[in-house]
Amino acid sequence: MLHLLTIATLALALSGPAHGNVILANQQMDTLLQSLTQNLRDTNTHMVSVLDKKVGFSKKVGFIRIKGSASINGQLGDLSTVRRAGDASLSQSGTVLTLQGLFGANVGGTLRARVSWSGIKVTASIKATLKNFRAFLRVTHDLGVSGASPVLREVRLHSLGSLSVSIGGLGALDWVLSPISKAMSGIISEVMNGWISNQLAAALRRVVKLIRLG
């Protein structure tokens, strides 16, 4: 159980200087994220998987355009490394406290692409590195309701950050490097949105229930 602060201390801090509010908000966000990362590891939901994502492409040979495809699988990386990004915010409206802010990480992994075109099949490796991805979260706690626990109100992808991709092993199909590279941003965005909406959101809901004020 996380004992953050008493109601009296919160009321005093929130009425004080803005700098004090930021320090308090950052402390609470850091505590929440530390518990989140531990929960992700404990429940084995910290790895972000890329499962059977399809990329289509084609090439004209003579008068015929021949279509091909790639199936991409693997693990993007370990997101139990998420940390606060910038200052968090803690505000109070009536009896309701709201904690919100950004968090994120740098992740990277090696994916496998099974590529097929005109009877040619190769297995390529894709090294993907995502730097400075950011997610946003908002938690509220109604101090006026006896026995109430904090509630996760929102968690979403804020920005994907910078994605770098390196592809090797295409051999005779090296011309598909461009269509696969172009598709990777959309694939990673979809994967990250899915992980945040499902595994991360579930872990946050488990963690915020453990928070008690006072």
pLDDT digits (tens, 9 = 90+) for 108-149: 999 999 999 999 999 999 999 999 999 999 999 998 888 889
74: its two tokens: 């693997």
The Cα 33–Cα 51 span in angstroms is 27
The Cα 166–Cα 108 span in angstroms is 11
179: left (phi over 0), alpha (psi -120 to 50) or beta: alpha
In order of 59, 65, 127, the CA distances from 124 in angstroms are: 19, 23, 10
Spatial contact of 165 and 126, defined as CB atoms under 8 Å apart: yes
128: domain CATH number is 3.15.10.50
In this prediction, the residues of the chain whose per-residue pLDDT falls under 70 are 1-20, 212-214
The Cα 107–Cα 34 span in angstroms is 18
Tell me the residue length of the chain.
214
**pLDDT, tens digit, 9 for 90 and up, residues 163-184:** 999 999 999 899 999 999 999 9
Pairing of the two strands 211-212 and 2-3: parallel
The Cα 141–Cα 152 span in angstroms is 9
Q: State the pLDDT at residue 212.
A: 60
Give the other-Cβ count within 10 Å of 7's Cβ: 13
- End-to-end Cα distance, the chain: 11
Spatial contact of 163 and 186, defined as CB atoms under 8 Å apart: no
Note down the domain range covering 7.
Answer: 2-212
Domain tally, the chain: 1
| pTM across the whole model | 0.83
Give the other-Cβ count within 10 Å of 70's Cβ: 25
User: Which single residue is written with the structure tokens 């972000």?
Assistant: 48
The Cα 31–Cα 26 span in angstroms is 8
Q: State the pLDDT at residue 3.
A: 41
Give the other-Cβ count within 10 Å of 29's Cβ: 25
Closest listed residue to residue 37, CA positions, set 205, 212, 200, 166: 200
Spatial contact of 135 and 101, defined as CB atoms under 8 Å apart: no
